């Protein structure tokens, strides 16, 4: 149903046509044999009515009605009738809606999305291909029109459509890289259809949607306080194109991140202030996804202050608005998962770059048992770093399938292994810093030699101490280097910024003396007193109401 | 020449054109020019690595090495990490790339003495990159500049790669530092690096409402 990074149901099941199950055999039968299908299953009347009404709403452009149908009725009917089986075949539906081609494309998009999300064993090769072709049809229809097409869809739908498109590409790339379970015929089919789910094709679609809508120009004008419509052009003024353009930028952010291209990932969001509300950013799932990928890219670029800012601000937003999307369960799962991943990433960033954050986020970190993980990481537990990273990182992929003559092995983990090793190299380089930090925290001034003595832990010969001094000096330089990073303050590009030391502990060396500057946070009494006052008021009121 | 090419190249990096493999020869030539003329264009270089990622058969180890070395010259920026993320494990295992990765690792850990020792044994690795040593010295000066108030003269000269007296004086002057006997005075750090106290500030407005309701 949704572009969740994590569900990849066909991971172990691999890919084999499960012809013994009723559903997959029907789903594989894409040409549609109505008689055959009806022997197993007859479309309930309520579904028929729903589809006809749905069709009508699309045609008439009843946007509020569509929103309701998309967000409520479809999931409800799915739960009731299609929990574990696909929605009705194309051919069965087509007759209900007079073969309306546009509606059928939209229907098939939902149909395949449901298969990806709910059907055990995941989509078959054929279904993956057909879903791709269906996306081609959809985007061709939208992009090759001479005048803006008369189609209006709810923003949430548009977002999930673009997000799902990228997700299915990701899913295909993972599937494609697992050579170990594929038969020669399957490999042949795959090798002969290299255009399907090709990365350039996906990039091309997203870039075309961006260009067609003039969304970049619109965002630039908007950021400068102007009216986006003045540069939107015929297409970009239409909500459909404008929003598809905007969501495609976020799609590109995700795609670049999956390929390890963090520079482009951040760059593509130029003129979007991630943590700011705007006329474009009102789909919570989109904002959450945006912050996740932006924060992650910052973390990889060692811009911890920016990563921490990005994560805390979205996590606060989620805390405050949780009830709003709690009702929609399928979104909820995705959001919960991504939230959890962000808490883990935030924990990693805070270990590498200790800094004050909002008290309520701190509280949740405690509740989520992140403190224990942080404690382990502070004490140099590399395994903990790695497992937290692997849990919380995007599912990286390599843009191209393994060469035709590769051994039949599983190549799907290579990209994630590589990104993990890049990150772990960074952690390795910083592994002495927490120890040094813990000593420095205890002093305001500390001679180099004394710290060297602490670090060497009771080695007494002066020769060792000299060596220790030398090593210590290197670590101290490394400390300063790693803690001084680019931090964004203003301007349209998230890549820009100034070098700052934002971490809570800092120091300088004057010849052989270390001078330490710590950040001291005074207790916050305000909140405490307000709570007590309110409690007292409440008590007082109750007392007044007592009748003796 | 690098300046002139910057314009041509920037149009090759727009939108979907960035992924056009026909641009690769021009972009590779641009890398060579950057090496020769001590110029630098991260975005163009990342585009080259991206094209290698998308077209593994065009991968050119020589160009990749130059891109990585150029990224080293742009420390303390994290360009080197960005480049590394676009390569894959197999490419990282190539000998010349492994060597550069090692150099990057030492620099990241600020073990400058070790860096100069290793580099002196591998002159062929970096000979193509004009101004390589001085770029690294700039990074050394950056780190020294943020770390020290006063540093021993001999230590500074070691960090810069055992430079002679004249060269040392040159770098000291370039950064506006002052020699002070056997020490070099870098800057007065206690203005920038001081203990911060974060206190809660509650103004009258924010308590006004609650006070009013408590009457």
For residue range B162-182, what is the model confidence (pLDDT) as tens digits? 888 888 889 998 988 888 888
**Alpha carbons A470 and A466: distance in angstroms, whole number:** 6
Task: Count the alpha carbons within 13 Å of A365 in the hemisphere toward its beta carbon.
Answer: 26
Question: Does residue B34 surpass a pLDDT of 50?
Answer: yes
Determine the length of chain B.
215
A511's torsion region: left (phi>0), alpha (psi -120 to 50) or beta?
Answer: left
Question: Does residue A58 surpass a pLDDT of 90?
Answer: no
**Alpha carbons A356 and A338: distance in angstroms, whole number:** 23
CB atoms within 10 A of CB A51: 20
CA distances from A139 to A156, A340, A451, A547 (A): 17, 33, 64, 71
- What is the span of the domain harbouring residue A491? 433-518
Residue A463 confidence (pLDDT): 62
CA distances from A449 to A297, A430, A435, A471, B112 (A): 39, 21, 16, 11, 20
Tell me the DSSP string of A143-171. Answer: HS-SS--S----HHHHHHHHHHHHHHHHH
Chain A touched by B173 (CB under 8 Å): no
Does the beta-carbon distance from B76 to A415 stay under 8 Å? no
Nearest residue of chain B to residue A541 (CA atoms): B214
Among residues A318, A313, A317, which one has the least CA distance to residue A336? A318
Q: Which tokens is A163 given?
A: 């997000």
In percent, the amount of chain A with pLDDT more than 70 equals: 89
Q: What does the pLDDT look like over B112-159, one tens digit per residue? A: 999 999 988 888 888 888 889 999 999 999 999 889 988 988 888 888
Most confident of A378-382, A427-431, A530-534: A427-431
CA distances from A507 to A437, A441, A454 (A): 10, 10, 17
Substitution target in B85, B91, B117 with the highest count of A β-carbons within 10 Å is: B85
* Architecture, CATH, for domain B1-121: Alpha Horseshoe (1.25)
Average pLDDT (A482-505) is 82
Confidence band of A345 (pLDDT split at 50, 70, 90): very high
* Architecture, CATH, for domain B148-215: Orthogonal Bundle (1.10)
The number of folded domains in chain A is: 2
- A303 within domain boundaries: no
Determine the length of chain A.
548
Does the beta-carbon distance from A522 to B197 stay under 8 Å? yes
Task: Residue A398: list chain B partners with CB under 8 A.
Answer: 53, 88
The helix or strand, by DSSP H or E, that contains position A486, with its residue range, turns out to be strand A484-487
CA distances from A136 to A71, A196, A202, A432 (A): 24, 10, 10, 52
In percent, the amount of chain B with pLDDT more than 90 equals: 36
Among residues A346, A384, A376, A377, which one has the least CA distance to residue A362? A346
Average pLDDT (A282-287) is 84
Question: Does residue A22 surpass a pLDDT of 80?
Answer: no
Task: Count the alpha carbons within 13 Å of B211 in the hemisphere toward its beta carbon.
Answer: 7
Residue B129 confidence (pLDDT): 86
**Alpha carbons A293 and A163: distance in angstroms, whole number:** 13
More confident residue, A189 or A209: A209
**Alpha carbons B88 and A396: distance in angstroms, whole number:** 12
Confidence band of A4 (pLDDT split at 50, 70, 90): very low
- Chain centre to alpha carbon of residue B56: 27
The whole-angstrom distance between B188's CA and the closest CA on chain A is: 9
Question: Does residue A407 surpass a pLDDT of 90?
Answer: no
Q: Which tokens is A425 given?
A: 């190299």
Task: Residue B92: list chain A partners with CB under 8 A.
Answer: 418
Nearest residue of chain A to residue B20 (CA atoms): A200
In chain B, CATH 1.10.10.10 sits at 148-215
Nearest residue of chain A to residue B79 (CA atoms): A301
Residue that finishes a domain, picked among A150, A176, A200 = A150
**pTM listed for this prediction:** 0.85
ipTM of the modeled complex: 0.88
Does the beta-carbon distance from A429 to B105 stay under 8 Å? yes
Cβ atoms of A78 and A114 within 8 Å: the answer is: yes
Which residue's structure tokens are 């163009």? B44
Q: Mean pLDDT in chain B?
A: 87
Does the beta-carbon distance from A520 to B197 stay under 8 Å? yes
Q: What does the pLDDT look like over A293-336, one tens digit per residue? A: 999 999 999 999 999 999 998 888 888 877 666 556 566 778 88
Of B53, B196, B202, nearest to A399 by CB-CB distance is: B53
- A390 within domain boundaries: no
Strand partners, B185: B150, B178
Of B43, B86, B198, nearest to A522 by CB-CB distance is: B198
Tell me the DSSP string of A108-153. Answer: HHHHHHHHHHHSTT---HHHHHHHHHHHHHHHHHHHS-SS--S---
- A194 within domain boundaries: no
Residue B63 confidence (pLDDT): 92
Helices (H) and strands (E) in chain A, counts: 27, 6
**Alpha carbons A260 and A398: distance in angstroms, whole number:** 9
In chain B, CATH 1.25.40.250 sits at 1-121
Substitution target in A248, A251, A303, A509 with the highest count of B β-carbons within 10 Å is: A509
How many contacts (CB atoms, under 8 Å) link A and B? 151
């Amino acid at each position: 149903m949704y572009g969740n990074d994590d569900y990849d149901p066909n991971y172990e099941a691999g890919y084999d046509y499960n012809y013994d199950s009723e559903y997959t055999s029907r789903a594989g039968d894409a040409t549609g044999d109505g008689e055959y299908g009806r022997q197993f299953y007859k479309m309930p009347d309520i579904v028929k009515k729903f589809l006809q009404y749905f069709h009508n709403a699309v045609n008439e452009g009843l946007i509020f009605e569509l929103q309701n149908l998309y967000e409520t009725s479809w999931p409800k009917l799915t739960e009731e009738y299609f929990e574990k089986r696909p929605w009705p075949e194309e051919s069965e539906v087509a007759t209900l809606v007079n073969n309306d081609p546009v509606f059928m494309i939209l229907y098939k998009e939902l149909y395949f999305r449901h298969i990806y999300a709910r059907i055990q064993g995941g989509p078959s090769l054929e279904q993956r291909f057909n879903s791709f072709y269906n996306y081609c049809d959809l985007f061709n229809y939208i992009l090759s029109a001479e005048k803006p097409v008369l189609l209006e869809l709810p923003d949430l739908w548009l977002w999930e459509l673009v997000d799902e498109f990228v997700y299915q590409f990701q899913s295909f790339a993972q599937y494609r890289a697992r050579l170990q379970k594929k038969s020669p015929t399957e490999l042949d089919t795959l090798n002969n259809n290299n255009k399907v789910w090709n990365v350039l094709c996906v990039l091309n679609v997203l870039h075309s949607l961006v260009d067609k809508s003039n969304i970049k120009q619109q965002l630039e004008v908007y950021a400068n306080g102007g009216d986006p419509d003045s540069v939107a052009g015929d297409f970009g003024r239409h909500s459909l194109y404008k929003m598809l353009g905007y969501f495609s930028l976020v799609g590109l952010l995700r795609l670049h991140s999956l390929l390890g291209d963090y520079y482009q990932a951040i760059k593509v969001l130029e003129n979007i202030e991630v943590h700011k509300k705007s006329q474009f950013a009102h789909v919570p799932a989109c904002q959450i996804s945006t912050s996740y990928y932006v924060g992650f890219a910052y973390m990889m670029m060692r811009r911890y202050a920016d990563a921490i800012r990005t994560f805390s601000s979205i996590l606060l937003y989620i805390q405050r608005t949780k009830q709003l999307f709690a009702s929609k369960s399928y979104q909820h799962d995705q959001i919960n998962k991504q939230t959890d991943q962000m808490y883990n990433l935030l924990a990693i960033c805070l270990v590498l770059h200790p800094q004050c954050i909002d008290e309520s986020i701190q509280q949740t970190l405690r509740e989520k048992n992140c403190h224990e993980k942080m404690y382990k990481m502070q004490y140099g537990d590399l395994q903990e770093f790695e497992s937290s990273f692997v849990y919380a990182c995007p599912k990286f992929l390599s843009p191209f399938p393994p060469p035709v003559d590769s051994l039949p092995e599983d190549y799907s983990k290579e990209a994630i292994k590589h990104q993990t090793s890049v990150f772990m190299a960074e952690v390795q380089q910083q592994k002495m810093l927490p120890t040094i930090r813990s000593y420095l925290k205890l002093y305001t001034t500390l001679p180099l030699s004394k710290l060297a003595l602490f670090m060497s832990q009771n080695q007494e010969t002066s020769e060792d101490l000299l060596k220790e001094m030398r090593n210590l000096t290197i670590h101290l330089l490394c400390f300063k280097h790693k803690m001084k990073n680019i931090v964004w303050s203003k301007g349209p590009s998230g890549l820009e910024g100034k070098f700052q030391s934002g971490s809570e502990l800092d120091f300088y060396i004057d010849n052989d003396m270390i001078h330490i500057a710590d950040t001291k946070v005074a207790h916050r009494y305000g909140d405490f007193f307000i709570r007590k006052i309110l409690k007292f008021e409440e008590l007082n009121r109750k007392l007044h109401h007592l009748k003796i | 020449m690098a300046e002139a090419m910057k314009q041509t190249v920037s149009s090759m990096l727009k939108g979907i054109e960035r992924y056009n493999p026909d641009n690769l020869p021009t972009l590779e030539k641009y890398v060579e020019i950057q090496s020769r003329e001590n110029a630098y264009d991260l975005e163009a270089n990342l585009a080259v690595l991206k094209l290698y990622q998308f077209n593994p058969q065009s991968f050119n180890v020589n160009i990749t090495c130059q891109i990585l070395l150029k990224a080293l010259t742009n420390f303390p920026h994290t360009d080197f990490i960005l480049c590394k993320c676009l390569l894959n494990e197999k490419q990282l295992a190539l000998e010349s790339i492994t060597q550069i990765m090692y150099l990057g690792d030492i620099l990241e850990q600020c073990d400058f003495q070790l860096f100069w020792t290793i580099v002196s044994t591998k002159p062929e690795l970096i000979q193509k990159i004009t101004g390589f040593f001085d770029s690294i010295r700039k990074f050394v000066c950056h780190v020294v500049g943020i770390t020290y108030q006063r540093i021993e003269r001999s230590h500074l000269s070691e960090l810069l790669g055992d430079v002679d007296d004249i060269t040392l004086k040159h770098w000291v002057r370039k950064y506006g530092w002052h020699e002070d006997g056997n020490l070099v005075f870098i800057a007065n750090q206690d203005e920038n690096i001081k203990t911060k106290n974060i206190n809660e500030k509650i103004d009258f407005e924010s308590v006004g409402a609650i006070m009013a309701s408590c009457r």
